[in-house]
A and B are shown apart, each in its own frame.
Chain A
Amino acid sequence: MNGSTVSLKVKRRKFVVMAGQSNVFFGAKWVRDNIGMPYVSFDPRLKQLGDNTTGEFRDRIIPLGNFAQNNAGDTSYASGWVSKLAGLLLNHNDGATPLIGRYDELIVAQIAIGSTGWTDGRWRPSGTLYQSFLKKIRILSTEHNAECVGIFWAQ
């Protein structure tokens, strides 16, 4: 090694969960069609979670995600609200330490929840959607080493 050193920089990742279903889709589409994405200017630290049906986590730069609801598989439909929220969080990153703490990346985890009436067995603790949701949170926390700073639930 000749005395050389290797410097490893661990990214400080934060994530915020935006969970919702169709109620989010409609307004987001209007925002896209009529006023675009006015809330968040381009910021390379801001990413969103990709397809949550396959467990694949594809980073996308907001607001470039699509808005297909696609049977609640592609969760980008929440972008209207997510962008607003993320923009607010980022705005507090000017100068002083932001309320959510310093970070290198802010991941917006848009997770489709489906069957939100809670009458479906999938949303009982042993249910498939319930467990799937928890799994995604666990992966974000462990494999992505990200720290959750908030959960937004659109029933």
Chain B
Amino acid sequence: MASLHKYYLDNFVVNVRDVIGDASMDNEYAQKIPFVTFRLNPEFVTTTGANAVTVDNDLASIGTRVPYTASIDITGLPAPLDTDTTHYDARQMVWIADRFYSSWLVARGNNLNIPKVANGEYLVSRQVSGTWYSDALQAIWQPSATPATATLYSILGDLWKYKTSRNTYKFKARFLLQS
């Protein structure tokens, strides 16, 4: 299930914005509401293992996938002062709190240079090896080792994971090709 975490997380941001867009009748504003998160306690990740690593990475990288989001950079986080390996200790929490506002500003300006989406739409952004697609064919499939037995990995096959809170699916496909 950990492999689905990223999709749940990304969907959630979209769904919250959709709800606010519905209620306020200002969807354009709603789709830009800053969403800020931050990483799991590094000690927890170390002691828990693979699933926590996946979740931690998903949280850290949300700003590259979902517009107007940010994850607080915990580089330089003070060392823990207690033996609790699950939670941040008090000093660490105060340290993170000091970065809330600056991260809110980062999220507010993080438009990812992607097109606007309407209420209920999902924009699935995908890069290959850190760059955008080199051709249209690559945009819809690519060789992949995930799952390990697959010779072709369908990007479109990912779409089923983007289910809205209304139990519906609605997507906007836009391919960005490298020149």
Question: A residues touching B (Cβ–Cβ < 8 Å)?
Answer: 17, 22-31, 34, 80-81, 84-85, 88-89, 99, 117-119, 123-126, 130-131, 133-134, 137-138, 141-142, 147-155
Given the known A-B contacts A125-B167, A148-B20, are A85 and B97 also in contact in the complex, defined by CB atoms under 8 Å? yes
The 10 closest A-B pairs by CB, nearest first: A27-B93, A30-B90, A141-B23, A88-B101, A84-B97, A153-B37, A119-B1, A85-B100, A26-B87, A27-B90
Q: Which segment of B9-17, B110-118, B133-141, B142-150 sits at the interface? A: B9-17
Q: In whole angstroms, how far apart are the Cα atoms of A152 and B97 in the complex? A: 11
B residues near A117, Cβ cutoff 8 Å: 5, 51, 55
Complex A-B: 27 CB contacts under 8 Å: A26-B87, A27-B87, A27-B88, A27-B92, A30-B90, A30-B93, A80-B97, A84-B97, A89-B101, A99-B105, A117-B55, A118-B5, A118-B9, A124-B8, A126-B165, A134-B15, A137-B16, A137-B19, A137-B23, A150-B107, A151-B33, A151-B34, A152-B36, A152-B37, A152-B100, A154-B37, A155-B40
In the complex, chain A residues whose CB is within 8 Å of the CB of B105: 99
- Knowing A134-B16, A151-B34 touch, does A118 contact B90 (C-beta < 8 A)? no
In-complex Cβ contact of B164 among A28, A125, A153, A155 (8 A)? A125
State the Cβ distance, B50 to closest chain A Cβ, in Å. Answer: 13
Tell me how far the C-beta of A107 lies from the nearest C-beta in chain B, rounded to whole angstroms: 14
Given contact pairs A88-B101, A118-B8, A138-B19, A81 touches B96 in the complex (Cβ within 8 A): yes
Contact (Cβ within 8 A) A118 B1: yes
> How far apart sit A26 and B93, CA to CA, in the bound complex (Å)?
9
- CA distance in complex: A88, B103 (Å): 12
- Contact (Cβ within 8 A) A31 B35: no
**Which of A81, A138, A141, A150 is within 8 Å of B93, CB to CB?**
A81
Residues of chain B within 8 A (CB-CB) of A154 are: 37-38
For residue B167, which residues in chain A have a CB less than 8 angstroms away from its CB?
125-126
Would you call B59 and A155 a contact (CB within 8 A)?
yes
> Which residues of chain B from 28 to 84 have any CB-CB distance to chain A below 8 Å in the complex?
30, 33-38, 40-41, 51, 55, 59, 84
Instruction: Decide if B94 touches A118 in the complex (CB within 8 Å).
Output: no
Chain A residues lying within 8 Å of B19, measured Cβ to Cβ, are: 134, 137-138, 141
User: Contact at B5–A142, with CB atoms within 8 Å?
Assistant: no
Query: A23 is contacted by which of B5, B15, B87 (Cβ under 8 Å)?
Result: B87
Q: Bound state CA distance, A131 and B15, in angstroms?
A: 10
A151 touches B35 (CB 8 A): yes
**B-chain residues with CB within 8 Å of residue A17 when the two chains form the complex:** 16
**Given the known A-B contacts A23-B41, A125-B165, are A151 and B55 also in contact in the complex, defined by CB atoms under 8 Å?**
no
Measured CA separation A154–B104 after assembly (Å): 14
- A22 and B41 alpha carbons, distance in the complex (Å): 12
Judge if B24 is at the interface, Cβ distance under 8 Å.
Answer: yes
